[in-house]
Structure 1
Amino acid sequence: MMKKKVLFCATVDYHFQAFHLPYLKWFKDQGWEVHVAAAGSLKLPFVDKKFNIPVQRSPFQKMNIEAYKELKKIINKNHYNIIHCHTPMGGVLTRLAARKVRKKGTKVIYTAHGFHFCKGAPFINWLLYYPIEKVLSSVTDCLITINKEDYLLAKTHRFKAKSIKHVHGVGVNIEEYKPVEQSEKFSLRESLGYRPNDFLMFYAAEFNKNKNQELLIESLALIKDEVQNVRLLLAGEGTLLNKCKEIARKLDVSDNIDFLGYRKDIGNLLKISDISVASSLREGLPVNIMEAMSSGLPVIATINRGHSELIDNEQNGYVIPTNDSNSFALRILEVYKSKVLCKKFGLAGVNKMKNYSISRVILELKDIYSVYMGEDTNETQSKYNRSYI
């Protein structure tokens, strides 16, 4: 009997390395053949075939026409049982390319990692992305949303996917991201060049307009005289990195900020930190916040659908109006001055993340996949590698 096949598609292959390896492995554990199609040449585990196709993030790039043609050839040739696509352009091109095979029985699943149109989004986003997602929902067997606002939007706007589901994001590894004892925190700090009495605020994100690190730099400038040992740790790269460095110089806080660049040790950086901060304008369901909460950190973040889904205001952190550096600074001071509050927020965050663990999301996705797999998958969770849970 021929192996059943699943194809995962996205804009770039790093998306799978960062968020979906446990789910690729899950299909392998069921005896399925796993294929991946995305731009990039990363070598991914748990994958039988990988296709490097020139998907571009912008819908206006001509290379997307070539990517569509290649995707269509791959899909028509390989006779997939299930196709699961991710990211906006990965979702658009894959669903267009799979229209013919879907009529022959291939099931098409799309995970929306945060609709580009949402409450507060620019009008151009609604003008461009809303009609695309609405139309393509009609060639989607299951639309998966990762936050409640997107789920309700798809339901109330009558998206025509055969099924609309909500899952708790891509999952966080609560065994890797967990609180540490004070002695381990201080030892790690010393190894990374920090002092026990430093007050460390951490944010990991690409430097772009949406991530809005400028707000954090402005807030830091407002508290630096009152919290003389404060340091803002900013991990990431991007087009606005140099602009943020210049803003830090103008506000005289360069000595209080560490621009860390691309880092692979986010877990350790969270372990040494006192609080997590986040300044983005829009989020679907941010993994960086889930990892911070799972690590036991209080979170202070701007209001958007992703942050508001994770942060219960005054329970496990604070949500602040967008671009209000004064309010942001005041909330930082509150947490800085109260160890009791800091501990309360941290514990509440850890408890909340139990619902967002990889093991929880595996079960949610298993229930969805089982509808389209044509077989009972109840016994498969016992085979799952606990290292990912």
Structure 2
Amino acid sequence: MKRKILFCATVDYHFKAFHLPVMEWFRKQGWEVHVAAHGELELPYVDRKFNLPIQRSPIRADNVKAYRMLKAIIREEQYNIVHCHTPMGGVLARLAARGARRLGTKVIYTAHGFHFYKGAPLANWLMYYPVEKLLAGVTDSLITINGEDYRRAIAGGFRAGAVHHVHGVGVRTELFAPLSAEEKRKARSAFNYTAQQFLMIYAAEFNANKNHELLIRALAKLKDKMPEAKLLLAGRGSLQEQCRELAIQLGVESQIDFLGYRDDLKELIPMCDVSVSASLREGLPLNIMEAMASGLPVVATRNRGHEELIAEGATGFLVEPGDVDSFASRLLLLHRFRETRARMGASALERVKGYSLERVQEELRELYKPLMEVKDEPSYQYSRSYI
């Protein structure tokens, strides 16, 4: 019988953004690939897709329905491997796969950034830490994507079958690469920007965690010193209109372009001068890796994901999440000193090579292989013990 793997996450665009290469690899190995998530996207390399009413909030009643649906799917399809992602996708899939795991299914969970971390609110620790520690006991392979989470899982006694650290989801260095001065000029012209403008880019959903307000306030402090600066904000989200209103209030609306959802970041990012990020929490952010692969220095807030990628003073700058003045001063420095931008961008390019898609794919293949080489198929002899 053809072997099958189920990928589960809260929303289906998570797979489009991060995991298509892994799904393609499984197909090439002769496996049947299924996806369970909220959404109706058509995804390549997928043999069957289930639209579940999973919600990000753990207290939504729809999650109970999603759990029941997922449990029935796992029981019916008899997967060899279930690989789950995102907090709610990870919780529901591991709960739903408990019975299947006792019968031979292997369960993998990738933590894209634990919600409990150094400096996290106490409520996060009280809610998420006990859940993750408990569910590690029904996980064959727990994958972390940054050093802090890996050390936390080991020190915290998370009793997964194995705990691993991989270098993120992998940046596609063949798509994101530095441009020559002439290539950059042409790219900017195509998007109606000039070679003289100082372009900063942030690709992120407009939500509280991404903290766009910090960037807008930092730009407002620089509007007279950097009149040719432009902040490009790629993404959508519930706080987008609020950010527009703040830009108008602070008199910088003409210096900010709200680009909406974009599927052309591989053209937009390399033509810019600096990558910025104001997020409060990150696991290992792909947008920063893509900017570094494009040869851009980075100014970002201090959190575990940014700290793992950005070497202070070498590939960019790190500032505290609420420090508008420091963020503005770092941007002004990079604006005024072209040589510093170039040096930091070259260092960023060299540093990000360790996070390439090729390296991450190899790391994942090494983790998958022992779980794929089980001699016997899962033995689904159903009884009341299947829960």
TM bin, normalised by shorter chain, reads over 0.9
In the alignment, structure 1 residue 96 sits paired with structure 2 residue 99: no
1:128 matched to which residue of 2?
127
Q: Aligned partners of 1:271 and 1:186: how far apart in 2?
A: 11
2:378 matched to which residue of 1?
none
1:154 matched to which residue of 2?
153
Report the CA distance between 1:375 and its aligned residue. Answer: 7.0
Q: Aligned partners of 1:136 and 1:259: how far apart in 2?
A: 40
Q: Deviations over 1:290-329 (max 9, x none)?
A: 1111111000000000110110111100011111111111
> 4+ runs of 1 displaced by more than 2 Å?
none
Q: Deviations over 1:129-161 (max 9, x none)?
A: 111101000000010000000000101110110
Report the CA distance between 1:52 and its aligned residue. Answer: 1.1
Matched to 2:3, the amino acid is K
Matched to 1:99, the amino acid is R
Any idea what SS the aligned residue of 1:35 has? strand
Q: TM-score, normalised by structure 1?
A: 0.95
Matched to 2:15, the amino acid is F
In the alignment, structure 1 residue 306 sits paired with structure 2 residue 308: no
In the alignment, structure 1 residue 188 sits paired with structure 2 residue 182: no
Q: Deviations over 1:92-148 (max 9, x none)?
A: 000001111111111100000000111111111111111110100000001000000
2:363 matched to which residue of 1?
364
User: Aligned runs of 1:69-108 on 2, under 5 Å?
Assistant: 69-108=68-107
Q: Aligned partners of 2:102 and 2:304: how far apart in 1?
A: 35
Matched to 1:225, the amino acid is D
Q: Deviations over 1:311-367 (max 9, x none)?
A: 011110001111111111111111111122111111111111111111101100011
Matched to 2:177, the amino acid is K
Any idea what SS the aligned residue of 1:45 has? coil
Any idea what SS the aligned residue of 1:162 has? coil
1:49 matched to which residue of 2?
48
Q: Aligned partners of 1:285 and 1:164: how far apart in 2?
A: 17
2:169 matched to which residue of 1?
170
Matched to 1:75, the amino acid is I
Q: Aligned partners of 1:300 and 1:353: how far apart in 2?
A: 15
Q: Aligned partners of 2:69 and 2:147: how far apart in 1?
A: 34
Q: Deviations over 1:211-248 (max 9, x none)?
A: 11111111111112112211111111111112111211
Any idea what SS the aligned residue of 1:57 has? coil
Q: Deviations over 1:185-211 (max 9, x none)?
A: 111111111111000011011111111
Any idea what SS the aligned residue of 2:214 has? helix
Q: Aligned partners of 1:256 and 1:291: how far apart in 2?
A: 23
Any idea what SS the aligned residue of 1:144 has? strand
Q: Aligned partners of 2:173 and 2:42: how far apart in 1?
A: 25
2:381 matched to which residue of 1?
none
Q: TM-score, normalised by structure 2?
A: 0.95
Q: Aligned partners of 2:174 and 2:183: how far apart in 1?
A: 16
Q: Aligned partners of 1:271 and 1:76: how far apart in 2?
A: 46
Any idea what SS the aligned residue of 1:174 has? coil
1:249 matched to which residue of 2?
248
1:260 matched to which residue of 2?
259
Aligned length: 375
Matched to 1:136, the amino acid is L
Q: Aligned partners of 2:7 and 2:232: how far apart in 1?
A: 34
Matched to 1:217, the amino acid is I
1:373 matched to which residue of 2?
372
Any idea what SS the aligned residue of 2:116 has? coil
Q: Deviations over 1:14-36 (max 9, x none)?
A: 11111000000011111111111
User: Aligned runs of 1:13-24 on 2, under 5 Å?
Assistant: 13-24=12-23
Any idea what SS the aligned residue of 1:220 has? helix
- Root-mean-square deviation (CA, aligned residues, Å) is 1.1
1:329 matched to which residue of 2?
328
Matched to 2:279, the amino acid is S
Q: Aligned partners of 2:176 and 2:228: how far apart in 1?
A: 25
User: Aligned runs of 1:105-116 on 2, under 5 Å?
Assistant: 105-116=104-115
Q: Aligned partners of 1:133 and 1:279: how far apart in 2?
A: 27
Any idea what SS the aligned residue of 1:16 has? helix
In the alignment, structure 1 residue 29 sits paired with structure 2 residue 28: yes
User: Aligned runs of 1:188-227 on 2, under 5 Å?
Assistant: 188-227=187-226
Percent identical among aligned pairs is: 56
Q: Aligned partners of 2:261 and 2:15: how far apart in 1?
A: 18
1:232 matched to which residue of 2?
231
Gap regions ≥5 residues in structure 1: 377-389
2:380 matched to which residue of 1?
none
In the alignment, structure 1 residue 12 sits paired with structure 2 residue 11: yes
2:385 matched to which residue of 1?
none
Report the CA distance between 1:269 and its aligned residue. Answer: 1.2
Structure 1, 141-150 or 77-86: larger mean CA deviation? 77-86
Report the CA distance between 1:168 and its aligned residue. Answer: 0.5
Any idea what SS the aligned residue of 1:272 has? coil
Matched to 2:211, the amino acid is N
Report the CA distance between 1:3 and its aligned residue. Answer: 1.2
Matched to 1:264, the amino acid is D
Q: Aligned partners of 1:83 and 1:261: how far apart in 2?
A: 33
Structure 1, 19-28 or 246-255: larger mean CA deviation? 246-255
Any idea what SS the aligned residue of 1:267 has? helix
Q: Aligned partners of 1:42 and 1:208: how far apart in 2?
A: 22
Q: Deviations over 1:265-299 (max 9, x none)?
A: 11111122100011011111111111111111000
Q: Aligned partners of 1:117 and 1:375: how far apart in 2?
A: 34
Q: Aligned partners of 2:259 and 2:85: how far apart in 1?
A: 29
Q: Aligned partners of 2:244 and 2:13: how far apart in 1?
A: 27
Gap regions ≥5 residues in structure 2: 376-387
